[in-house]
Amino acid sequence: MSPSKNSKLNAWVEEVRAMVQPDKVEWCDGTTAEYDRMMQVMVEAGLATKLNPAKRPNSYHFRSDPSDVARVEDRTYISTTNKRDAGPTNNWASPKELKETMRGLYNGCMKGRTMYVIPFSMGPIGSDIAKIGVQVTDSPYVVANMHIMTRVGTKVLDTLGAGEFIPCLHSVGKPLQPGQKDNGVWPCAPIEKKYIAHFPEENLIWSYGSGYGGNALLGKKCLALRIASAMGKKEGWMAEHMLILRLTNPEGRKFHIAAAFPSACGKTNLAMLQPPLKGWKAECLGDDIAWMKIKADGRLYAINPEAGFFGVAPGTSYKSNPMAMDSIRENAIFTNCVMTDDGDVWWEDMDKPCDHGIDWKGRDWKPGKEVGAHGNARFTAPAKQCPVICSDWENPEGVPIDIFVFGGRRTRVMPLVHQATSWDHGVFMGATAASEPTAAALDVSSALRRDPMAMLPFCGYNVGDYWQHWFEMGDRLGNKAPAIFYVNWFRKSDAGKFLWPGYGDNARVLKWMCQRVEGKVGARETPLGFMPNPEDLDLTGLTIAKADLEEVLRVDAAAFKGEFADLDGWMAKIGEFVPERMKKQVAEYKKRFGG
């Protein structure tokens, strides 16, 4: 019996049920009892291990199939009537053909399983920036993770009423024969049968064959970025791959920063940073996604649409991110880590060594050639458990954004920080953001991976139209637009030594940004943009060689000119869809460097 009074929702659920043919249907209510029951179901199926409650209370560990450990970008589709609308950076498929293929896979795919219906809110329930989705799934692992990552339950249905929702259909793609059970084998389909499909013209998501991460937790990248970015374009708001951070200065003024970094660039660390500067306080509002809308005062307000953290475990430690480590001490889900002999979890670059355990493939493990935890091993934990979560993180009105930050991982060429001279210049900076694929890359000019606004895998429509949307949002914001900056924490010396200490000391760069917004600190104009003079940065208590500081703030014009060909190649990839204003920015950028 459906608890929903939404006739469109009820009809969709019935249509899906008839297609996938589950043994039974359950509507999720979001209660603790339901979460505990999901975990018990998975423990009994051999898919979950309860961790030692003395070590990590109410926490569980899972091992996925080796073929199901990360996003599958080559099996991810933006399906639009016209291929042009998906653009040159997405995999496109015809909606008619893709649906026909997937319906064939969905037919009877939930036999032997329970079909769960998960009503969920992305963002605080009732916020005018939030959206409601309903995910149908045959995975209790997904139900448990969605409990943490979104707001699930009957209150969502009450708020939805007869309104619009985003339908999200998911199956692990492994029906069970009568009497058959999973028996500890992670359910998923072979890679060639995995599909993560988005239909932005209908605000619809279909996912098949994967039970892991963003392929299966459809509120995350699928809804919160791919579908939401397309909705934002149509409706006049922004869905961005950005952390949200509040910095409060000694006088009590609050600054809100939204920052976009590709993977492996310290995004979660910055979201939970603790400043070493006297009188400055940092609080986390979100570590991954920001939805932003212009409000009545003309400013851009952001909410974090998620309710939890789904973070990469390896590399997370008390040195790199103590607040994240404290956030996962209890009530957490771990996937593809090492299980230690004392019933806890471990991963590489943790604070303590592990001499023996069971690795992510379920094998007896000791340190040696093979890593114990998968490189994309994950933790899922409620955001409310973060010791520095901001009191306004669930404010339905959102927080006003003062600063946008873009960045990438560059061992050479790109200096520590620079500021855009205008909004259009800032859009250019974000659109051309780049990282080196490996620290060992020698020919930097041919080894850059462009990742516009850190949205390359997540933009749900044509990236040229996406850039144009940024320009138009700037027009609407006018003089109330956030200031835009670009950072690179990863510059190295010729000897391979990091020139900037990073981690909490990045707050020194953020302080300069805040003071720039206030008009309280100087800068010098360079062909890149405005940059701090060494004396503009607060280096109190920091030991850094004068030569290192000068190098990390140096603009090497010859090196930037050497990358013009790569920039031209990137623009050529977008081709006819590059907006005129972007072409103008490229031309002005080259001219400033004497090109």
Tell me the pLDDT tens digit for each residue of 369-425. Answer: 899 999 999 999 999 999 999 999 999 999 999 999 999 999 999 999 999 999 999
- Asked if 399 and 536 sit in the same domain, the reply is yes
Q: What is the CATH number of the domain that holds 249?
A: 3.90.228.20
Q: Which residues are catalytic?
A: 265
- Asked if 317 and 207 sit in the same domain, the reply is no
Per DSSP, the chain holds a count of helices (H) and strands (E) of 16, 31
Tokens matching residue 503: 């981690």
Tokens matching residue 59: 């926490």
- Asked if 402 and 415 sit in the same domain, the reply is yes
Give the span between the Cα atoms of 267 and 482, in whole angstroms.
19
Tell me the pLDDT tens digit for each residue of 237-258. Answer: 999 999 999 999 999 999 999 9
DSSP sequence for 493-540: -TTS-BSS--GGGGHHHHHHHHHHHHT-S--EE-SS-EE--GGGS--T
Three-point CA angle 270, 272, 276, nearest 5°: 80
Residue 202 inside a domain? The answer is yes
Cβ atoms 413, 566 nearer than 8 A = no
What count of other Cβ atoms lies within 10 Å of the Cβ of residue 502? 14
- Asked if 147 and 259 sit in the same domain, the reply is no
Residue 52 inside a domain? The answer is no
Domain span at 192: 7-46+70-235
Residue 1 inside a domain? The answer is no
Give the span between the Cα atoms of 127 and 237, in whole angstroms.
14
Question: What are the C-alpha distances in Å from 191 to residues 65, 69, 72, 195, 213?
Answer: 11, 11, 9, 9, 15
Residue 57 inside a domain? The answer is no
Tokens matching residue 591: 């001219």
Strands (E), 165-289: 166-171, 195-199, 204-208, 238-240, 243-248, 254-260, 281-286
Cβ atoms 90, 73 nearer than 8 A = no
Residue 62 inside a domain? The answer is no
- Asked if 403 and 381 sit in the same domain, the reply is no
Q: What is the CATH number of the domain that holds 35?
A: 3.40.449.10
Give the span between the Cα atoms of 460 and 454, in whole angstroms.
13
Tokens matching residue 76: 């991810």
DSSP 8-class letter at 226: I
- Asked if 354 and 449 sit in the same domain, the reply is no
- Asked if 229 and 266 sit in the same domain, the reply is no
Q: Of the candidates 352, 367, 385, which is a domain's last residue? A: 385
Domain count, the chain: 3
- Asked if 270 and 227 sit in the same domain, the reply is no
- Asked if 400 and 442 sit in the same domain, the reply is yes
Contacts of 592 (CB under 8 A, 6+ apart): 527
pTM: 0.97
> Per-block average pLDDT, block size 10, for the chain (595 residues)?
95 98 98 98 98 98 97 96 98 98 98 98 97 98 98 97 98 97 97 97 98 97 98 98 98 98 89 97 98 98 98 94 97 98 97 96 95 97 98 98 97 97 98 76 61 98 98 98 98 95 96 98 97 97 96 97 96 98 98 91
Which residues is 340 bridged to in the sheet? Answer: 357
Three-state helix/strand/coil letters over 6-25: CHHHHHHHHHHHHHHCCCEE
Q: Of the candidates 235, 264, 297, which is a domain's last residue? A: 235
Q: What is the CATH number of the domain that holds 376?
A: 2.170.8.10
Closest CA relative to residue 465, chosen from 232, 225, 220, 196: 232
Q: Of the candidates 339, 364, 385, which is a domain's last residue? A: 385
